[in-house]
Structure formats: C-alpha cells, structure tokens
Amino acid sequence: MAKKILVVDDEKRIVEILKAYLERDGYQVITAYDGRSALEFSRRDSPDLIILDLMLPEVSGWDVCRELRKETDVPIIMLTAHDDTTDKIVGLELGADDYVTKPFDPKEIISRVRAVLRRSDVKPVSKSTINVGEIMIDTNKRLVRRSDRNIELTPIEFDILRVMAENSGRVYSRMQLLDKIQGDAYEGYERTIDSHIKNLRKKLELDPNHPQYIITIYGVGYKLEGI
C-alpha cells in the first residue's frame, strides 16, 4: 500500500508542485493550506509523513508540530523560508525529523521523504539487553557495564543512555531526550541534558574530551554511536 503524505503550505503553487512530484514517486498525497486543517487532516487520515511549512495561517507550523508531538510520532519534515540556524534548531527540538529551506528543488524533498520514511520504518530495539560496542545495558536490572566493569549511573543518566541505545545512530535533540525520559515534567529545562551528557561521558568514555560513543551533532543534539 502506498505511503500517505500530508503536505501543508499556504502557497498553493508549492503544494501543487510537491503533490505532483510525490504522486509521481508513488505516494498518496493529502493537502492542507493552514495549520488548523493540518491538525484536522492528520488526526483524520493518519498520514505516514507530514511536510509542514512553518509560516501558516490559523495555527503556525511551530504550534502544529508541538500539538502533533503530544499525540503521535509521525515523521515531520519542516519547510522554512529562513536559512536561520535558530529556526532549524527550534524545529528539531519541537520534534521535527528534518527540515528544508525554501526555495528548494522538489527532487531534494523526495530524497528527504524517502530517507525519513526509511528511518521511521526501523523499529526500536525491545531487547532486555542492548550492546553498543563495549557497553552493555541491561534494561530490566538497570545495569550498565563497559568491558567487565560495572558503571554506576544515576536514574536519569541511565534513561538517557537507554533511549539513545535503543536507536543507536539516531540523533536526538535535547527536547526529544527530555520528552522520552520525563514527558512534560521538564518545563523548559532542556539545557540540563548537557550536564547529564557530560557526566555520562566521564563514566563511559576512555577520554571524555574525545568521545567515541556519545557524539555531539552541533546545532542539533546527541547520538550514541556503536564502534
């Protein structure tokens, strides 16, 4: 069955172009021109991916993304008219999976759609034991070992490590990590993640200043890399 894509932009010409390219690539396409309709169609039609413009009437793309992330993990590619790093970071921290700056080549959008859908089709690891390089994580016993040495972690350090290990190689923003481990309890303190990451590196890395496992993706967040 064809994957279903919701395209949301108040510029009808952009919607028409994206719809034509996506349908040519075999996708089923739903279209919306404002944020309120985007929320309505997402809830009604359960798309496999959403292409979402930031500057929308009725409800902004920021707010649409924020609301959707309370309800679903549907992949979201954000469109922004500003080549502004801040916009990109905020979009990713709200839960967007990727972003594209206008003007864009429709072929780039198709490539991004394929890549994001491939990542979303990879199911999280559900094993009680996860191995990443020399690190072993027992999720039932909440035990971490590197080689033959037990590593003592605080509860939040363990949860951060577990989340990243379940999708080793995936980049998480600070907001996404906090949402996974604390839900709505963080109340805007996403920068505290940096302190926990620093402590994790001290405990897990041979050289915390040159980490092999917990990698910083500048301007975005962190990922756990297997060696």
Looking up residue 160, the CATH number of its domain turns out to be 1.10.10.10
Continuous segment of H or E residues that includes residue 53: strand 49-53
| Model pTM score | 0.58
Q: Rounded to an integer, what distance in angstroms lies between the CA atom of residue 182 and that of residue 31? A: 34
Residues 51 and 145 in one domain: no
Which of the two residues, 10 and 1, has the higher pLDDT score?
10
> Which 3-state string (H, E, C) describes 191-202?
CHHHHHHHHHHH
Backbone phi, psi, residue 84, to 5°: -120, 120
Span 2-49, pLDDT tens digits: 899 999 999 999 999 999 999 999 999 999 999 999 999 999 999 999
Least confident of 3-7, 85-89, 210-214: 85-89
Distance CA 78, CA 99 (A): 4
Share of the chain above pLDDT 90, in %: 46
**How many whole angstroms separate alpha carbon 112 and alpha carbon 115?**
5
Considering only the C-alpha atoms of the chain, give the largest distance between any 2 of them, rounded to a whole number of Å.
Answer: 60
Check: CB of residue 64 under 8 Å from CB of residue 52. yes
Give the domain range for residue 181: 129-224
Q: In terms of domains, do 176 and 193 share one? A: yes
Domain tally for the chain?
A: 2
**Quick one: 136 and 47 in the same domain?**
no
